[in-house]
Amino acid sequence: MSKRIVIIGGGIAGLSAGIYSQRNGFDTEIIEMNNLPGGQCTAWDRKGYRFDHCLHWLVGTARGPYHQIWKETNVINDGVKIIDQEIHTKVVDENGDEFIIYTNIDRWKNYLLEMAPEDSISINRMCNEMKKISILETSSNPPGMRSWVDSLNMYIKIMPVIPLFLRYKTKTVHDYIEILNFKNRRLIYFLDALYGQSDFSVIAFLMMLSWFDQNNAGYLVGGSLPLTIRMSEKYKALGGKLSLVNKADKIIVSNDKATGIILSNGTRIDADYVISAADGYTTIFKMLDGKYQTEQIKEAYTSWPLFTPFVQVSFGINKKIKSTVANQLFLAKGMSIGRTSLEKGYTLMNYSFDTTMAPREKTVIILRFESPWELWKDLSGEEYLTEKKQIEKDAVAILKKQFPEVDQYLEVIDIATPKTGVRYTGVWKGSYEGFLPTNQNLTKNIGMTLPKLNNFYMCGQWLSPGGGIPPAAQSGKWAIQLICKKEQMKFTAE
Ligand SMILES: Cc1cc2nc3c(=O)[nH]c(=O)nc-3n(C[C@H](O)[C@H](O)[C@H](O)COP(=O)(O)OP(=O)(O)OC[C@H]3O[C@@H](n4cnc5c(N)ncnc54)[C@H](O)[C@@H]3O)c2cc1C
């Protein structure tokens, strides 16, 4: 008889764990509280428009261990078209001054050199460091399953970049700007406004831009929803069971061993292994009553900063609005939308590059801005609706600045707040990628197992700072690799 695995949560991590567990002969059930799988990687349809709530870019669209996972889980197949944008972001400040980040590092370097010839040494150094760091790659195997040959090969491969890693591992982007000693005020201003206002790790910054340079962080046409549908279809085709609109309340523990779960309707599901791919805070502090915390968990959940949640205002526009730049960031010091002051500005994303998002001759534009969870956590009822109305009014006014006659063509306005994400997925404090990768936590992570709890595994965005779809999917795969090891079975990915 196959061993039985119950997986809590049908987001990217849960679907990945489901696919690999079925492939390895387990009898698997995914319990998902929402009425569709995908978790935060999702989109919704309104009057023929599709409003995407996740995918801008996916690391691993061209190569590497993540790419392997995308092929194994049907996220990427021969029918999936990938777009590599030429411009990562165009930034426009309050005075209309523009700054562009090109995805190709050489092109960006030339642009920066033209803008700030006096900083040629620093610009060359920054761009060289981005190129150099591109050899850093995630491991194919989970911690504890890396053979010494794998480790040695990895070490040899990354050796040239180790001094750079050690030099910067505790540095923020803000520190980096100072270390490089730029002189051009405009360059400093834009870099700082983009990445320098938090403890965002400089290693994360360099790596992010290096992925784009390698055309290894593309956009999948169709966006988030077809991506998750492809995964869930794969899971079901392999014989996996997906139970929607079912919420797990507790993990059953007997003699420090997870033996199943209890749903909110009281149903008990027994299993040989429990994997939680649900929100990390809920898993550790509610489903397990906080009993199996480690020191690392305590540190993370009390002191690591989180990604600030977004408000997303989606516009369905009955007119073709073409754009050469997909993603624009507008700095907006002193401005507010609703009760949120736009400390980091707002982005406007014109989806005309993906024709599946709107009917012919129509356009989807999405406006997003960060809005701290503290502003939302106690809002409800009339107060919540009033805030949404104010956001709609302010957001339309902003859109009209770009496209003065747009209100004649507006067919749909849809607002998703941090509360929307929490309601549908339970994501802690609306933090859509979990813990922010900072100069303090970049090399840390929360283990996939809890030392004193047997037959229990965690996967998903909450395990390592930075979150995102790739680590979520990878941790699902890793959980099954670990279970196969425990069962003394040979893991198969194909
Ligand atoms: C606006 C936005 C833009 C983003 N852009 C990108 C991007 O461009 N690239 C990128 O890589 N990442 C991006 N992300 C982040 C990415 O979506 C997430 O990091 C990733 O999807 C997390 O996957 P997960 O499976 O770990 O968690 P989740 O998606 O949070 O999945 C958890 C699942 O568990 C379910 N669940 C929770 N509690 C229970 C329970 N008690 N019982 C049953 N089910 C439960 C939830 O409903 C959910 O389906 C973005 C996110 C947002 C919101």
With a CB cutoff of 8 Å and minimum separation 6, the contacts of 76 are: 61, 67, 70, 82, 220
Q: Residue 461 C-alpha to ligand 1 middle, in angstroms?
A: 7
Q: Is 474 in the pocket of ligand 1 (CB under 6 A)?
A: no
Rounded (10°) angle between helices 12-23 and 64-72: 70
Give me ligand 1 centre to Cα 38, in Å.
7
pLDDT of 301 reads 97
Alpha helices in 116-159 (DSSP H): 120-133, 148-158
CA of 39 to the centre of ligand 1 (A): 4
pLDDT digits (tens, 9 = 90+) for 289-309: 999 999 999 999 999 999 999
Quote the pLDDT of residue 209. 96
CATH architecture of 4-43+65-77+224-305+434-486: 3-Layer(bba) Sandwich (3.50)
- The answer to whether the beta carbons of residues 456 and 273 sit under 8 Å apart is yes
Looking at residue 138, what is its pLDDT?
Answer: 85
Cβ of residue 41 lying under 6 Å from some atom of ligand 1: yes
Decide whether any atom of ligand 1 lies within 6 Å of the 430 Cβ.
no
Pocket test for ligand 1, best of 7, 41, 269 (most atoms within 8 A of CB): 41
Of 311, 320, 342, 326, nearest to 403 by C-alpha is 320
Q: How far apart are the first and last CA of the chain?
A: 22
CA-nearest of 409, 383, 406, 385 to 396 is 406
Residue spans of the domains in the chain: they are 4-43+65-77+224-305+434-486, 105-205, 310-428
The residue whose CA is least distant from atom 16 of ligand 1 is 468
User: pLDDT tens-digit profile of 90-129?
Assistant: 999 999 999 999 999 999 999 999 999 999 999 999 999 9
Strand partners, 370: 310
Q: Which residue, chain included where needed, has tokens 């994360």? A: 204
Category of 368 on φ-ψ map: left (φ > 0), alpha (ψ -120 to 50) or beta: beta
- Do residues 417 and 388 touch, judged by C-beta distance below 8 A? yes
- How much is the pTM? 0.96
For ligand 1, the distance from its centroid to the CA atom of residue 290, given in whole angstroms, is: 22
Cβ of 277 less than 6 Å from ligand 1: yes
3-state secondary structure of 241: strand
* Nearest to 470, CA basis, from 128, 2, 142, 12: 12
Q: How far is the CA of 115 from the centre of ligand 1 (A)?
A: 39
Which residue in 439, 367, 460 sits closest to 204, CA to CA? Answer: 439
Q: Which runs of consecutive H residues, i.e. helices, occur in 36-86?
A: 64-72
- 184 has pLDDT over 90: yes
Q: Alpha carbon of 106 to those of 90, 113, 123, 210: distances in Å?
A: 17, 10, 11, 11
What is the pLDDT averaged over residues 45-52?
98
Residue 317 half-sphere exposure, CB side, CA atoms within 13 Å?
23
Distance CA 275, CA 459 (A): 7
Per DSSP bridges, beta strands 217-220 and 257-263 are: unpaired
Tell whether ligand 1 has an atom less than 6 A from the beta carbon of residue 39.
yes
Ligand 1: residue whose CA is nearest its atom 5: 54
Check residue 110 and give its pLDDT: 98
Three-state DSSP at 186 gives: helix
Q: Whose CA is nearest to atom 12 of ligand 1?
A: 468
Predicted confidence (pLDDT) per residue in 239-267, tens digit = 999 999 999 999 999 999 999 999 999 99
- Distance from Cα 293 to the centre of ligand 1, integer Å: 22
Ligand 1 atom index nearest CA of 287: 41
CA–CA separation, 116 vs 377, rounded Å? 44
What mean pLDDT comes out for the span 167-195?
Answer: 94
Cα–ligand 1 centroid distance for 79 (angstroms): 24
Extract the tokens encoding 231: 């995964």
- The closest alpha carbon to 469, from 211, 112, 175, belongs to 211
In 43-197, DSSP assigns E strands to 43-46, 49-52, 58-59, 82-83, 87-92, 98-102
Closest-CA residue, ligand 1 atom 49, reads: 39
460 touches ligand 1 (CB under 6 Å): yes
Handedness of CA 218, 219, 225, 227 (dihedral sign): negative
- Across the range 40-50, mean pLDDT stands at 98
Tokens of 451: 């030392």
Place of tokens 């700082």: 192
**CB of 194 closer than 6 angstroms to any ligand 1 atom:** no
